[in-house]
Structure 1
Amino acid sequence: MRNNSKHFVIFITIVSFISCNNSSDRLSSISGKEINITDSIKGVDSLKKFIAPYREHIEEVLDAPLAYNPTYLNKNDGKLNSSIGNLMADVAYAESNPIFNKRTGKNIDFVLLNHGGIRAVMSKGNVSRRTAYEIMPFENQIWILELSADKIKELVAYLAKNKTAHPISKQAQLVLNANGTVKSFTVNGKPILESETYFVATSDFLANGGDHMDFFKDPISKTDINYLLRNELIDYFEKIDTIKAGIDNRFIKL
């Protein structure tokens, strides 16, 4: 508990019974008493002993090495794309697409996440489940949204205006001119076609308009694959030996 006392007010209700021809309960008065609860109250040793083995097991599971990261990764090491952001977007694609394809027979076109959702760096050394919890502490699910070409154009305009290193998977590339206008946007090397729709994987937070990504609202279709982004990271770490991530040209300004 914190040193600052937390105050709980216990209200004691005194009910007065007044006799009359038809007896009834009436509230006559309310009084209160303040009781200070501080960190001076000792814990129960027997409870601590009971919990200890479970806590130790959880710590062991969280810290067990899953993979190795050869270099320091963080979300601010690039201007428009970052090493850890690229890793997260590519992991989301790699783990989500097989499930989506099995359910629908279609493929995800690309992934877009948000820069602010990355909550920690990835240090050089062993990578564990704890690493995934630190990077992604939120219970964000991956959704795949089917968007029209017009919605994709809104997405591109948003990225160009904000000029923030929001994680984008390597299937997409956005190139800005020196003045910040859009030079090109391609998906798997091809420009956007008016007649096509596109499947974009993102978090449920963004799908509901988080970070003002309103272009995700009212999609043509939505597929919830019931997969936490954090769990995708853990599953990916378990499959590989050494993490490979870095800054590239998926979102750049000339």
Structure 2
Amino acid sequence: MRRIFAFISFLFFGISSCTSIQPVTSLSFTDYRIAKEARTDTALAGMLAPYRTNMDITMNKVIGFSNTQMNARQPESGLGNFMADGIRVMAEKKYGKKVDAGFINQGGIRSYIPKGNITVGKIFELMPFDNLVVLQEVKGSVMQQFFDKMAADGGWPVSAGVKMEIRDKKAINVSINGKPLDPTVVYLIANSDYVANGGSDCEMLRRIPQQNKGYLLRDALIEFVSDFTRQGKPLDYSIEKRVVNVN
């Protein structure tokens, strides 16, 4: 049903976008009772069949393999480590710059990665939103506020090279690439545009300029998994003590 709704929405907006805006002069409706006995609209089903077939081919495409099932956990998880590494590594490739760290907001993770084959559809389930990968240059003093926000939430996924401890819902002993967080240093970080725009209560980032190439976070993860496959490697992520609760 969701797929059918998506197809109808796509067709509607595709058609309406090519026509001029007309004022509404009247509105009428008819109630239809939806029951288990409702018959399939064969004409509609036939119209949508080619689109559904093409979508199924795309979504069922295998792009990689995971040695373990990865679930979202706090303060750290293999799934979060994979995603945070993905946003940092692919941001470096897309923007051609050395990125100090990558982050994923915990609330944005909507599924899991099963053990075995990874399909395009699974990444869509993991990241159903059209969030973009953006870069920001953030001063260390503001980064501390950002890390404190993550700590207050119980921990967010951070990329390799970032370490932090959580005590009394505060971030302590934070280091980036083996060096303690310096309040005077400016760090280049990769994030989702949702968080960079102040989402998940990250107001401290909202006014910081963004570098934005319209690169979907979901596409970054698909390409990250595909890169592993091209190298003949499976995903094999686990907990690495990037984020540790010391209470």
Counterpart of 2:66 in structure 1 is 69
- Give the TM-score taking structure 1 as reference length: 0.77
Structure 1, unmatched stretches of 5+, are 2-31
The CA deviation at 1:80 is 0.9
**Residue-by-residue CA offset, 1:118-175 (whole Å, 9 max, x unaligned):** 00111112101101100000000011111112211211222233323x1111121112
1:216 aligns with 2:208: no
1:198 aligns with 2:187: yes
- Distance 1:49-1:151 versus aligned 2 partners, 3 A rule: same
Counterpart of 2:50 in structure 1 is 53
Amino acid at match of 1:172: V
Amino acid at match of 1:175: E
2:240 maps to which of 218, 223, 248 = 248
Q: What SS does structure 2 have at the residue aligned with 1:153?
A: helix
| Contact kept in structure 1, 2:87 and 2:103, CA below 8 Å | no
1:114 maps to which of 105, 109, 116 = 105
In the alignment, the residues of structure 2 paired with residue 134 and residue 237 of structure 1 have an alpha-carbon distance, to the nearest angstrom, of 15
The CA deviation at 1:43 is 5.0
Amino acid at match of 1:151: V
In the alignment, the residues of structure 2 paired with residue 34 and residue 53 of structure 1 have an alpha-carbon distance, to the nearest angstrom, of 30
1:171 aligns with 2:161: yes
**Percent identity (aligned):** 25
The CA deviation at 1:50 is 3.2
The CA deviation at 1:87 is 0.7
The CA deviation at 1:181 is 5.1
1:238 aligns with 2:226: yes
Q: What SS does structure 2 have at the residue aligned with 1:66?
A: strand
1:150 aligns with 2:141: yes
The CA deviation at 1:73 is 0.7
- Distance 1:68-1:151 versus aligned 2 partners, 3 A rule: same
In the alignment, the residues of structure 2 paired with residue 111 and residue 227 of structure 1 have an alpha-carbon distance, to the nearest angstrom, of 15
- Give the TM-score taking structure 2 as reference length: 0.79
In the alignment, the residues of structure 2 paired with residue 182 and residue 147 of structure 1 have an alpha-carbon distance, to the nearest angstrom, of 17
**Residue-by-residue CA offset, 1:205-239 (whole Å, 9 max, x unaligned):** 111111111121211x3101211111111112222
In the alignment, the residues of structure 1 paired with residue 47 and residue 28 of structure 2 have an alpha-carbon distance, to the nearest angstrom, of 34
In the alignment, the residues of structure 1 paired with residue 111 and residue 244 of structure 2 have an alpha-carbon distance, to the nearest angstrom, of 23
Counterpart of 2:127 in structure 1 is 136
Q: 208-217 or 48-57: which moved more?
A: 48-57
In the alignment, the residues of structure 1 paired with residue 99 and residue 184 of structure 2 have an alpha-carbon distance, to the nearest angstrom, of 17
The CA deviation at 1:240 is 1.9
Q: What SS does structure 1 have at the residue aligned with 2:31?
A: strand
Q: What SS does structure 2 have at the residue aligned with 1:35?
A: coil
The CA deviation at 1:38 is 2.8
Amino acid at match of 1:65: V
- Distance 1:159-1:33 versus aligned 2 partners, 3 A rule: closer
In the alignment, the residues of structure 2 paired with residue 235 and residue 249 of structure 1 have an alpha-carbon distance, to the nearest angstrom, of 26
Asked which structure has the greater CA Rg, the reply is 1
Structure 2, unmatched stretches of 5+, are 2-26
Counterpart of 1:6 in structure 2 is none
The CA deviation at 1:194 is 3.6
Q: Give the structure with the higher percent strand.
A: 1
In the alignment, the residues of structure 2 paired with residue 185 and residue 195 of structure 1 have an alpha-carbon distance, to the nearest angstrom, of 14
Amino acid at match of 1:58: M
